[in-house]
Structure 1
Amino acid sequence: MQKHFIGGVIPGAIIAQDVYGTDGVLLIKKGSMFREHYIPRFIDAGVQEIFIEENGSMTPETVNTIRKSLNIQDVIHEKTRAHAQNQIKKTMMKFKAVSSSDIQRVGQMVEEMIEQLLDKKDFVFALSQLRSVDDYTYQHSVNVGVLALIIGIDLNLNKEQLRHLGMGAILHDIGKIMIPEEIIKKPAKLTSDEFREVKKHTEYGYDILIQTNIHEEAALIALHHHEKYDGTGYTRGLRNTKIPLYSRIVAVADVYDAMSNDRVYQRKSAPDKVFREITHQGDKHFDTQIMETFARHINIYPTGTGIILNSGHRGIVLYQNKLYPESPIVRIFLPKEQNPKRLYFDMDLSLNTKYYIVETFS
């Protein structure tokens, strides 16, 4: 660490020691990121010098500090997400005794999500960071519901249609309650027999939902969300527009969220790798129009993602670039030996085509 006059500290520098005023009051904690508006407050408190980290290289502490400062927000309220996950969990734990009143409560949560999404003039989907393997099914259900609704809004579905889509999306995996837990939570590749058993969850789900007061189009999502556009999916091997629209939407949302998160048998992939894998499958597995809509609302490089450029420089994503999603605005960190007076610089990759992202890290 090194002592600096506060007027010469570069915004973004990491503070190396707790900073106290002359009256002994703590002004800011060690590890915080220095901001320009701190200067008058420090001067008023009698502070003229502070210690900062000597270089701006990518340390885990630096990354975490910047991520916190970026105020990354979910597309729905945190309370709504938690309530929805809890309601899905309660519903699925009822096993075969899922009732119309359970479905009604889920419907109320879906309506709340719709209102929050319609309230936003512009949104991109970033996965919730609070994930656990044990609660994967419930978290996955909510994420699929949110992403399906975002796609549905872009496709100009009306509120009633959005409600049916959201209900079916959030309950698309309810049939898994009929699959033995040792198969669902098996931490290894399934045998052929086990996979055949898992595939039955689509029919089980439809049978459970159709016995409640849920709309049939919503129930059909449970049956058809594993169908593929080229007819190679299951349960019925439907092709093209023979697959109901809502199921085509949920198929994309389901695969994206599943690949983006840790499961009992497989580690997650980075968002950019998932995006490329899904778009590579293209019209083979998915409806092209839905894929294009999906692409408009996905953060290929979510805010806070660690990145490595083709030049070898390391940095972190600050903001998305709506017109050029593969070229976000990034903060690049410089080793002290390369430039002792500058800790970092910000770059819009869409304006600097010489540089591009070759790898991401968490």
Structure 2
Amino acid sequence: MYVQRLELSRHSSTTLRDGFLLTTSAQITAIHRVGIKHVWIDELKGVRAVNARPWFGQLPGLSAPPASAADDGIDSALENARQICLDGTLQMKQIFSDARLGKILDPLETLPLVESVIRSIEDNPTVLLGMAQLKTQDNYTYQHSVAVCALMIALCLQYRLPQETLQFLGMGGLLHDLGKALIPASILNKPGRLTVAESAIIKQHPLLGVAMLDPDTTPPAIRDILLHHHEKIDGGGYPFGLRDTAISRYARMAAVCDVYDALTSSRSYKAAWNPAAAIRNMATWKGHFDQSVFFTFVKAVGIYPVVSVVRLASEHLAVVTEASGASLLHPKVRVFFSLLTNEPVPARNLDLAIPSIGDSIAGPDAALGWSSTGFPGPEVSLSRNGAGYAPQRQQEREWEG
């Protein structure tokens, strides 16, 4: 991996510098020795590791289960998903660059990418949805676009929509934030609260995005998603303050997908929420979403979505590896940490839907500082209340997808 930036504390004293290719265990040891716990990597500069084992095989102190035919299939699916995310990031970066130069976009140019996403979601929805959650700070906007595309397609499949509609809505999800190409980065990435003037500027991006689309080749569904994905059922959204049935079902679908991915991603002004916590809190936002669409979305991603960190009744922490299926409350997980001994355990896979397993989910958990990707990482600020764990907002600023 290419290390773009080291997360040094203010008291760190080291000769290590940002911007290098991580190739040896000695480098990893040096990073740990000076107390660095988080690094930013640049996937575009890294060496493609086709045979890398997923998730826990590379974590210090943890060992992956023995390889099997099923593992080979998952490895292949992970590599395919990783390549789709990489290709999507590069294409969106080029689209945004062209938009800043005033080029009018034909949405059908994105069809090959969208079809790749559709095939991946149809084959194994959990893999691409999980991979799409892994984002870097510098490429957030482009990676967010790919993630919303994947979420839209997963949601569309729940409705069993025709193939052509599936393609159009995937393109709409991919391009939903096109207008942000013309919003200053100083506003998009501002750490603190936006001023009234800055908020007014960012709320123009739906209108700016629609203006960049070729009117002769853009299906109405795509225009609708770009223009209305920030509208709310209670009329409190923008840019038009539409209410209830004035908002199309496609725009309502995009609103849920956009918000979910924004909440579960780290931004300059907030930490990422655990996916399960995001689902639970979104369910309490009355007047924001179409409740029917939201519940269908939950069926698509699961009550405990892929890469959620959960606490089991056995007092272990586990990461959700497969969330969809007959039982949303009993996903497949990979156990990696014991809360009783406060130390890692050899990773093992559990299907909680099998009664003989004798374990169940007690609740989402990030109390030990495990990030929403399942790796030790930036802590999600949590507090205990009567309902369990609840994320605390990091800044007095409404998030922006």
Please indicate, yes or no, whether the TM-score normalized by the shorter chain is above 0.5: yes
Aligned to 2:60: 61
User: Which deviates more from structure 2 when the two are superposed, residues 166-175 or residues 253-262?
Assistant: 166-175
Q: Secondary structure at 2:317's aligned position in 1?
A: strand
Shift of 1:204: 0.8
1:238 and 1:75 map into 2 onto residues whose CA distance is 41
Give yes or no for contact 1:173–1:205 (8 Å, CA) kept in 2: yes
Q: Quote the offset at 1:147 in angstroms.
A: 0.6
2:296 to 280, 293, 315: 293
Deviations 1:320-356 (A, max 9, x none): 4634434445537569989xxx979876656557861
Residues 76 and 117, structure 1, Cα contact 8 Å, conserved in 2 = no
Matched, 1:359 2:358: no
Tell me if 1:200 matches 2:199. Answer: no
RMSD, aligned CA: 3.6
Q: Which residue is 1:46 aligned to?
A: none
Change (3 A) 1:232 1:293: same
2:102 maps to 97
Distance in 1 of aligned mates of 2:275 and 2:97: 31
Q: Secondary structure at the match of 1:254?
A: helix
The alpha-carbon distance between structure 1 residues 198 and 77, as it changes in their structure 2 partners (threshold 3 A), is same
Q: Does 1:250 align with 2:254?
A: yes
Structure 2: tracts of 5 or more residues without a match: 1-57, 372-401
Letter in 2 for 1:314: H
Q: Does 1:108 find its partner at 2:107?
A: no
CA contact under 8 A between 1:227 and 1:236: conserved in structure 2? yes
Length-normalised TM-score, structure 2: 0.64
The equivalent residue for 1:272 is 276
Kindly tell me the number of residue pairs found equivalent between the two proteins: 298
Query: Relative to 1, partners in 2 of residues 1:278 and 1:62: Cα closer, same or farther, differing over 3 Å?
Result: farther
Q: What amino acid is aligned across from residue 357 of structure 1 in structure 2?
A: G
Q: Which is further off, 83-92 or 295-304?
A: 295-304
Deviation at 1:314, TM superposition (A): 2.9
Structure 1-normalised TM-score? 0.70
Please tell me whether the aligned partners of residues 75 and 125 of structure 1 are also in contact (alpha carbons under 8 angstroms): no
The reply on whether 1:226 has 2:230 as its aligned counterpart is yes
Distance 2:272 2:339 in 1: 30
Instruction: Provide the residue aligned with 1:308 in structure 2.
Output: 311
Partner of residue 132 from structure 1, selected from 115, 126, 136: 136
1:173-201 C-alpha deviation (Å, 9 max, x unpaired): 11112212211121222112111110011
Superposed, which structure 2 residues align to 1:160-179 within 5 Å? 160-179=164-183
* Structure 2 contact 275–308 (Cα < 8 Å) conserved: no
Identity %: 30
Query: How has the CA–CA distance of structure 1 residues 67 and 176 changed in structure 2, closer, same or farther, with 3 Å as cutoff?
Result: farther
Q: Which protein shows a greater Rg? A: 1
Q: 1:88 to 1:307 in 2, by over 3 A?
A: same
Instruction: Give the Cα separation in 1 of the matches to 2:261 and 2:304.
Output: 15
Separation in 1 of the partners of 2:88 and 2:169? Answer: 15
